[in-house]
Amino acid sequence: MHFSELKQLPQFIIVLIGILGSIASSAAKTDPKSGLRKVCTVTINSSQEKKAFQTHLPSKDFEFIELTEIGKTASTSLNDDWFQKACKADIQCDVLVVSGHFAGSFFGNSKLELGLDEMERNSCRNSCDGILKSPKEVFLFGCNTLAEKKDDSRSYSQYVTHLVNDLNYDEPVAIRAAQGMYGAMGSSFKQRMRRVFKGVPNLYGFDAVGPTGAAVKPYLDNYFKQVPNYLSHVKKIEAEKLISLVSEANSAVADVSNTILAESMRKFAFAECSGVLPNSPDSSVSEEICQLHRNLSLGQKAEAAARMLKKPDRLTYLPSVLSFIRSNEVELNSDPEARAAFEKLKSDKMLLAEMNTILSNVDENPYTKVDLLRLKLALVQIDQATFELQIKSTLTKELRRLDQSTIDLACSLRKEHGIGITLRSNDIDLSRLETNQGVSAFACLRTDDPKISARIIGTFRMMSAESNPEAVAYGLEALMNLPSYEEERAAEAKKYVTSKAPRIAAKAQIALASAGSSEQRASAIAALVALPFEAQDEALESVVRSNNSNEALAQALSDSLSYGSQQSYYLRLRALTRIAPTESALWKELATKLNSKGIEASASAANYLRDVPKPPTSMAFWALENMNEKGYSAYFTSVLAKMELRPNMISKLADQIVQDPTDSHSARLRYILRSQRNTQLTDEQQKALSSGPVYYAECLPNGLSTDCSEIHL
């Protein structure tokens, strides 16, 4: 049939053709040897639900697969990447059974998690269809798994308290989960589950407090007794799926009614629905949000985010946009396409007013406030100085209690933005410094107050590496953030340099290397390099995390680059790039060392510099020298795009584009100069900059590292 003829067919016939193709594809993936229907289980907390299914579904008809066990080996203590392994296994589930506590993610005594964000991301990318879209039935055993935004027996604050105190949730996670239940922003859990399980006929869950595994098992037993031939039940759903998807192709929610299950579960807050249908109105929301998760360029994703923020129902999309900005904050600031997309919204007075209204209503919610400030910064509605001032004001007030979740937030802002929070004794409850958590907080926070420093050192002296090695490890990090007391912190660090625990010995050496004479620093770094790689990694990561300018320590690390293993070399290089002061003469010395080491070392350094909140412009000439190296150019253009280049350099680079506007060198310079703010160019320079090829850098995480590639436009 020709395409022109296909377009003239009734819509339901076109949908039918697509569905039949999908069913044929699914059937082709069925294991021809076993012919068994697959029941996939995700046991994160109670196993009682799974046992009920295993008891009543005969092995001659059904095969059970525990997804959390896929890829687990004898040496794996926690199979925390189980979901990605299960997705890659391409298992075609007929029934999916998930059990666990739920509050935006499934969690429980297995210590494993399955978050809605991760499920949504994989659903959007079509990278886990066998688990998320192939099932005929999905059982979601957990509280509020299909909850809508409505009044509940608990208030917003009571729900947050329950998650934090009873279920040990971190406060920012609890607050975001509560927003899914009560807040005006974002979709309900039910709407999000429907998007995740797109096209699945039957979703079962609870729209309030759900039963425990032990409590629900007898009711499941009763249900299965009333459906003795479950294979016929599943086959019936398969047949009904074909009919319902055709007839409901233009309906928002297909009518779902498993009356036997609903009757069996009548004691509980049972809820049921279907996944979003392909042509339903709800699918447009799903399609918009999916743009943020698919393998598109950062600029395309930013365009999608900006489009969502223009919509009348923008509050529905706001959490997804905030999550996107939170995850890509550094890259968004330096990507010209992304910045251009957001700058179009700069003059949207209605959006600005709405952001300010929300901000005024979240005074008791610092985590959402920080997210919204990030959005205003991305939209150029506030400048960097105002952003930092408001962040510091928000966090200083919240840090009085030194609770772990707020400390984590402060740490992330310090690492991503270089925003250091300096506390004085009147900012905090000093009694908190008598606890291990209070001391460890200063692994990220700063102080110039003698009262705080004295208390931290006093509490650290009472710690024991034998009884609480974790506290000692973080305490050693805290010592590095006390600007005074060099002798005292050196004396405390020396106690641990011979520790039998390599990670503690390594952090003790770092603490020593941040104080004392140049000879003492060099000796401490040499001792560090002699320790096992894993210990070096953790200790030097603490230096990266602290993000403190420390020229003396940076010099000691630079001097050490002439010895040690290749792996250790890159750890020290990364730490050095985070703590060398911006105007230090060390950068010129480092550029010479990198060039003599070779292009791979230089590319790695460029990658590390990308993560520095404000890369030093003194490295610009070095990056330009290496920018046209085949296979590595993206690493150097990406860091140059992040630098705030001086006006005279911008003008000289623009002249190079004018002289030869079509070559690859100019194409890279266009990307770099379009990333600069406040450029003052001549008409000729501006014309050359705005037309012609552009080679931009796309840098994406790849495990623990980042891969950069060049995209030609």
**Is 426 inside a domain boundary?**
no
**pLDDT the model gives residue 710:** 84
Q: Which helix (H) or strand (E) holds 96?
A: strand 95-99
- The rounded distance, in Å, linking the Cα atoms of 402 and 437 is 8
Are 251 and 378 in the same domain? Answer: no
Q: Tokens at residue 483, please?
A: 């600007």
Q: What is the pLDDT of residues 414-434, one digit of tens each?
A: 766 677 788 888 988 899 899
- The rounded distance, in Å, linking the Cα atoms of 338 and 131 is 33
Are 9 and 108 in the same domain? Answer: yes
Are 176 and 194 in the same domain? Answer: no
Are 177 and 209 in the same domain? Answer: no
Q: Can you give the pTM of this predicted structure?
A: 0.64
Are 159 and 135 in the same domain? Answer: no
**Is 498 inside a domain boundary?**
no
Are 276 and 305 in the same domain? Answer: no
**Is 317 inside a domain boundary?**
yes
Q: Which helix (H) or strand (E) holds 374?
A: helix 366-378
**Is 274 inside a domain boundary?**
yes
The boundaries of the domain holding residue 308 are 291-382
**Is 621 inside a domain boundary?**
yes
Tell me the one-letter amino acid at 75. S
Q: How many folded domains does the chain comprise?
A: 4
349: which residues sit within 8 A by CB, 6+ positions away?
Answer: none
Are 79 and 226 in the same domain? Answer: yes
**Is 641 inside a domain boundary?**
yes
- The rounded distance, in Å, linking the Cα atoms of 546 and 414 is 7
151: which residues sit within 8 A by CB, 6+ positions away?
Answer: none
Are 80 and 210 in the same domain? Answer: yes
390 close to 373: Cβ distance less than 8 angstroms: yes
Are 195 and 140 in the same domain? Answer: yes
Are 203 and 181 in the same domain? Answer: no
**At which of 285, 310, 336 does a domain end?**
285
Residues of the chain short of pLDDT 50, as ranges, are 1-17, 19-30, 32-33, 249-254, 703-704
**At which of 320, 351, 382 does a domain end?**
382
Are 112 and 22 in the same domain? Answer: yes
**At which of 382, 415, 433 does a domain end?**
382
316 close to 347: Cβ distance less than 8 angstroms: no
- The rounded distance, in Å, linking the Cα atoms of 593 and 428 is 44
**Is 449 inside a domain boundary?**
no
- 693 alpha carbon, distance to own chain's centre: 33
**Is 612 inside a domain boundary?**
yes
Are 18 and 117 in the same domain? Answer: yes
